[in-house]
Amino acid sequence: MSQNASKALWGGRFSESTDAFVQAFTASVSFDQRLAAQDIQGSKAHATMLAAQGVLTTTERDAILNGLDQIAAEIESGALIWSVAREDVHMNIEARLIELIGDTGKKLHTGRSRNDQVATDIRLWLRATIDVIRAELTRLQAGLIDLAEREFDTVMPGFTHLQAAQPISFGHHMLAWNEMLHRDQERLTQCQTRLNECPLGSAALAGTSYPIDRHLSASLLGFRKPTENSLDSVSDRDFAIEFTSVASIAMMHLSRFSEELVNWNSTAWQFVDLPDRFCTGSSIMPQKKNPDVPELVRGKSGRVFGHLISLLTLMKGQPLAYNKDNQEDKEPIFDTAETLFHSLRAFADMVPAITVNRSVLKDAAINGFSTATDLADYLVRKGIAFRDAHEIVGRAVAQGVATQTDLAAMSLTTLQGFSAIIDADVYNVLTVEGSMASRDHYGGTAPNQVKAAILRARARLAAEDIDQ
């Protein structure tokens, strides 16, 4: 470097060097070095475009491309020393390029600003990261659908108000989670499509006077198109807010699911057993097997919701165009992606290994009088008005509770004491299996409907996978 090595790349206008604390306070390299691969990718596209437009010679372009490849290798091997004095990932790489190839390196920043550069880097990073997250989500969905198939006719109590309500298929219950995760998939894809536009060429805020080709830059980087407006491109981070919001919804789903698994795995419920490898013990109580993975996922949802609020707050006070506030976007984005990815990974590994305690589930369905609605519907079919039927069954349940007898275990004479219209055929509807099988329509819990839903869910997941 021909100048004093400690002087910032923007140092020309300054008569004193930056205060040491301010330098450290304003630097972002400790965390934005994560964008290095995308920064190099973007710089290579920019240099290629500049040469295609005659702004750089092909010799200059090749020197820049080779230098950038060398820096990528240095980063890969850990040889590159990141410097706080060089503030951020962009200036660390640019300064290193100038060290490596000399004055030609100084031409890379022609027609560009760190403002369009960083906006491009984050979009590239998020675009790639959403692919990785979606693959993990797909793996979890595939495991859920397999579990649903294994347990398609396993009967369990369905709940409202956490009270046993009506018998349902365990497979049907798993498919409910799969629907939520499917919508998360859709939201991730839509978010990815929307952010897939190239800000390069917006420069600081107003564009540039060089004869650039923004369509070429965009296509070199695989973006759908260049962004429409240079001011908007360098300033708004709504795509990051959208990603964090989509991630928050997905984490909310995982947190609900976690809550169920914690209950189901408890000694009081014993609906399922989580595999030992996803649980930990207690340092004092030898009998304990704690469902740490779902508890932690439930807990981690909070930090992602927090990141969403951080980014909304970060953006809300900013006039156009770029402001340094935006440097604060990165840590919430990175942590959101990491938290969601790790939570999905844990679930994708754990769900296929859940043991379902079928007899406990069935007993819980029976003990909860979950076929009471079926008895009421039976009476209605025999000509009794629903309100009267509700009253009759209510009395039968009250006696069942008092005598600890399930409706299906009551004798015909006992049942006829509540309504003379009851016949021996009542037992067809009083069993939990009969009740479950009678919800026999699209989206219902009858095992043959669950089987059909599994086929549809598999086909849809395969189609989503191809989209990726």
Pairing, β 163-169 against β 155-160: antiparallel
Distance between CA 143 and CA 187 in Å, rounded? 20
Footprint of ligand ARG on 72-101 (CB under 6 A): 88
Q: How far is the CB of 255 from ligand ARG (least distance, A)?
A: 31
C-alpha distance across the termini of the chain, in Å: 44
Torsion of CA 199, 204, 209, 214, to 10 degrees: -10
Looking at 43, 115, 202, 235, which residue binds ligand ARG (CB under 6 A)?
Answer: 115
Contacts with ligand ARG, 314-353, as mask; x by CB under 6 A: --------x-x-xx--------------------------
Q: How far is the CB of 25 from ligand ARG (least distance, A)?
A: 13
One-letter amino acid for residue 168 of the chain: I
C-beta separation of 435 from 166 below 8 A? yes
Query: How many residues contact ligand ARG, by CB under 6 A?
Result: 10
Q: Which is nearer to ligand ARG, 89 or 437 (CB)?
A: 89
Residue by residue, DSSP assigns 157-181 as: EEEETTEEEEEEEHHHHHHHHHHHH
Q: Can you read off the two tokens belonging to residue 12?
A: 């020309």
**b or e along 189-215 (b: 16 or more beta carbons within 10 Å of the residue's beta carbon)?**
bebbeebbbbbbbbbebebbeeebbbe
Between 230 and 327, name the residue whose CB sits nearer to ligand ARG: 327
User: Are 166 and 180 within 8 A, CB to CB?
Assistant: no
Give min distance, CB of 157 to ligand ARG, in A.
Answer: 52
Per CB under 6 A, contacts with ligand ARG among 15-74 are 28, 32
Distances in whole angstroms, Cα of residue 240 to Cα of each of 75, 132, 195, 204, 251: 26, 16, 9, 20, 16
Cβ count within 10 A of residue 347: 25
Are 291 and 304 in contact, with CB atoms under 8 Å apart? no
d(CA 319, CA 310) in angstroms, rounded, equals 17
> Out of 161, 209, 283, 441, which one is annotated catalytic?
161
Q: Which stretch binds ligand ARG (CB under 6 A): 110-118, 289-297, 336-344, 417-425?
A: 110-118
Residues 348/461, Cβ–Cβ less than 8 Å: no
Residue closer to ligand ARG, measured from CB, 8 or 165: 8
Cα 441–chain centre separation: 31
Query: Interacting stretch for ligand ARG, rule CB under 6 A, among 111-119, 127-135, 338-346, 413-421?
Result: 111-119
Residue closer to ligand ARG by CB (options 166, 310) is 310
In angstroms, what is the minimal distance from the CB of 105 to ligand ARG?
19
Closer residue to ligand ARG (CB): 9 or 360: 9
Q: Write phi, then psi, for 182 (nearest 5 degrees).
A: -65, -45
161 is catalytic: yes
Nearest distance from residue 129's CB to ligand ARG, in Å? Answer: 17
* Pick 83 or 219: Cβ nearer ligand ARG: 83
Q: Which of residues 130-159 bind ligand ARG (CB under 6 A)?
A: none
CB of 88 to ligand ARG, least distance (A): 4
Which one of 44, 86, 114, 127 is in contact with ligand ARG (CB under 6 A)?
114
Q: What are phi and psi of 263, to 5 degrees?
A: -65, -50
Q: How far is the CB of 329 from ligand ARG (least distance, A)?
A: 7
Taking CB under 6 A as the criterion, the residue among 118, 140, 361, 372 binding ligand ARG is 118
Q: Which is nearer to ligand ARG, 89 or 393 (CB)?
A: 89
- The nearer residue to ligand ARG, 264 or 322, going by C-beta atoms, is 322
Q: How far is the CB of 324 from ligand ARG (least distance, A)?
A: 6
- With the C-alpha atoms ordered 136, 142, 145, 150, is the resulting torsion angle positive or negative? negative
Is residue 208 a contact point for ligand ARG (CB under 6 A)? no
Peptide linkage before 452 cis (omega within 30 of 0): no
Q: Which of 6, 17, 30, 282 is catalytic?
A: 282
DSSP string, 23-71: HHHH--HHHHGGGHHHHHHHHHHHHHHHHHTTSS-HHHHHHHHHHHHHH
Q: Which residues are catalytic?
A: 161, 282
Site residues (vs ligand ARG, CB under 6 A): 28, 32, 88, 114-115, 118, 322, 324, 326-327
